[in-house]
Amino acid sequence: MDAKRKAQDPELVCTCNDLYVTDIQQALDEGETGYKEIFTVHEMAPRCCGCVDDVQQLVKQWQQATTDLA
């Protein structure tokens, strides 16, 4: 993970694959909530796994938001 690059762009979640918040949102909208599955939607694979906590946090936020809407 390139922490300096990530700090420069808060929308960038995975610097190894250039995976952004919008990419994760798209995968969530397609029904994927697993770490690896989110990458698979975009034909990517996790590399260093330094973003796993950030991805999981975004999934939790999305799940909470969708629950609150119900």
CATH number of the domain within which 14 lies: 1.10.10
Q: Residue 68 falls within a domain, yes or no?
A: no
Q: Residue 33 falls within a domain, yes or no?
A: yes
Q: Residue 70 falls within a domain, yes or no?
A: no
Q: How many domains does the chain have?
A: 1
Cα distance between residue 67 and residue 7, in whole Å? 30
pTM confidence score: 0.88
**Owning domain of residue 15:** 3-62
Neighbouring-strand partners of residue 14: 19
Q: Residue 69 falls within a domain, yes or no?
A: no
What are 38-60's pLDDT values in tens digits?
999 999 999 999 999 999 999 99
Q: Residue 50 falls within a domain, yes or no?
A: yes
Cα distance between residue 19 and residue 38, in whole Å? 10
What is the structure's pLDDT at 70?
A: 61
Q: Residue 14 falls within a domain, yes or no?
A: yes
